[in-house]
């Protein structure tokens, strides 16, 4: 346990003890590390929760994931019963060249503790389902959760690699809610504990579920700590009159008490209108381009942020087996010309840089495979 920041020996491999002999955010005494804790080489697991009118938005998100990713994907779709047959029909209609890249399972909306109706109505319909993923997906080691209004502009493979950067106590990764505390919602208005100086946005959340299931979390309820499932409902009961953003606020409270459990990734992995609508304030996106676009506040469906809407609609309308440059990249460039009157539209390179790089890589890989299969010696 050479990476352990404390001095006491580790009771189990991968767990660190503090000077008082408490495990804190780590494995429980006597438990062994799950044999599959290392990120799976076979499948990258992606989870999403869709209720109400989120069918199309979810399908476009899944489409963006399949378009660019290299390794096989396993989709875990949590949806209302009425949406299940529609998901099955739509996903099976995709071309076989893409359906062979993924498998999917559709689950009902369920909550293992507390009042199901309370959870279902917390903030947005069914959003609290994400809190129960470690409990439901017991055979999944690691997982990327995203909101329905997310678009991947580069392979999921790249964010999946961040799991390897977790230290011995980290079990989840999220991006800050804001880059600057002076304009941050949490720093100005929150009436409950939150992580860091600006809070966290939970729209993109990378999780080591094995570690989450094995951990005991410090909290304001029980001195000895609680497991993830034990903690959820009592925590909600304590803070329900003080939270505004539902499950995201609960995650902020959890990681306020357990900051050593969190890996913070930079803003280009969860790029939202707030990063450009008041002027560009995501340096990572300026340097590397947007990796994951998060069109929160319904910006894909109104005219408040036409740059975000353009990206959504171009990916939505892209015919799967067409040329990526001709039918996706060039239409994007054209659509962006109509957005230069907005602050987000004045920095098109931020939105295009990563997607151009990704498309070039996809094209080069296809050419190499084609030439390799047909080369005559």
Return the higher-pLDDT residue of 212 and 362. 212
Cβ-based neighbour number of residue 187 at 10 Å:
17
Q: How far apart are CA 249 and CA 314, in angstroms?
A: 33
Could you tell me if 103 and 197 are in contact, meaning their C-beta atoms sit under 8 angstroms apart? Answer: no
Is the pLDDT at 336 greater than 60, yes or no? yes
How confident is the model over 14-32, as a mean pLDDT?
A: 42
- What's phi and psi for 44, nearest 5 deg? -100, 125
Beta strands in the chain (DSSP E): 44-50, 73-79, 102-107, 142-146, 150-152, 172-176, 200-208, 262-264, 292-294
Percentage above 90 pLDDT, the chain: 66
Q: Which two tokens stand for residue 133?
A: 């993923």
DSSP state of 274: G
pLDDT attached to residue 158 = 96
Over the stretch 6-21, which tens digit does the pLDDT of each residue have?
333 333 334 443 333 3
Global pTM reads 0.86
pLDDT attached to residue 368 = 61
What is the Cα Rg of the chain in Å?
A: 21
Is the pLDDT at 24 greater than 90, yes or no? no
Over the stretch 85-116, which tens digit does the pLDDT of each residue have?
999 999 999 999 999 999 999 999 988 887 77
Q: Which residue has the tokens 């151009």?
A: 356
Is residue 217 classed exposed, middle or buried when 0-12, 13-18 and 19+ CB atoms within 10 A define those classes?
Answer: buried
Q: How far apart are CA 275 and CA 273, in angstroms?
A: 5
Q: How far apart are CA 106 and CA 147, in angstroms?
A: 16
How confident is the model over 289-295, as a mean pLDDT?
A: 97
Q: Is 72 left (phi over 0), alpha (psi -120 to 50) or beta?
A: beta
Over the stretch 106-152, which tens digit does the pLDDT of each residue have?
999 988 887 777 877 776 768 889 999 999 999 999 999 999 999 99
């Amino acid at each position: 346990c050479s990476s352990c920041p404390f001095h006491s020996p580790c009771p189990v491999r991968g767990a660190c003890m503090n000077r008082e002999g408490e495990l804190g955010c780590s494995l429980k005494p006597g438990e062994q590390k799950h044999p599959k804790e290392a990120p799976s080489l076979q499948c990258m697991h992606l989870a999403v929760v869709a209720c109400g009118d989120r069918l199309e938005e979810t399908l476009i998100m899944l489409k963006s994931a399949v378009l660019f990713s290299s390794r096989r994907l396993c989709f875990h779709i949590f949806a209302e019963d009425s949406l299940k047959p529609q998901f099955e029909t739509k996903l099976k209609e995709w071309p076989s060249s893409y359906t062979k890249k993924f498998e999917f399972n559709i689950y009902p909306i369920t909550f293992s503790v507390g009042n199901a109706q309370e959870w279902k109505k917390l903030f947005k319909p069914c959003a609290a389902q994400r809190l129960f993923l470690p409990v439901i997906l017991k055979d999944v080691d690691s997982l990327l959760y995203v909101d329905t209004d997310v678009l991947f502009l580069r392979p999921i493979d790249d964010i999946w690699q961040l799991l390897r950067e977790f230290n011995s106590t980290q079990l989840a990764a999220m991006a800050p809610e804001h880059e600057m505390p002076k304009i941050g919602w949490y720093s100005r208005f929150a009436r409950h504990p939150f992580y860091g100086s600006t809070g966290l946005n939970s729209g993109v959340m990378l999780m080591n579920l094995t570690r989450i299931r094995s951990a005991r979390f410090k909290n304001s309820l029980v001195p000895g700590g609680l497991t993830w499932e034990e903690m959820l409902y009592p925590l909600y009961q304590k803070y329900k009159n003080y939270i505004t953003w539902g499950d995201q606020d609960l995650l902020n409270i959890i990681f306020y008490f357990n900051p050593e459990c969190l890996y913070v990734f930079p803003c280009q992995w969860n790029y939202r209108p707030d990063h450009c609508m008041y002027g560009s304030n995501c340096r990572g996106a300026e340097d590397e381009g947007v990796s994951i676009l998060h069109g929160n506040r319904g910006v894909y469906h109104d005219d408040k942020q036409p740059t975000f809407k353009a990206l959504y609609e171009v990916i939505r309308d892209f015919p799967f087996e067409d040329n990526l440059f001709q039918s996706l990249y060039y239409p994007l460039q054209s659509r962006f010309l109509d957005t230069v009157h907005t602050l987000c539209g004045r920095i098109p390179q931020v939105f295009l840089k990563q997607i151009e790089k990704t498309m070039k890589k996809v094209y080069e890989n296809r050419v190499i495979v084609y030439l390799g299969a047909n080369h005559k010696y």
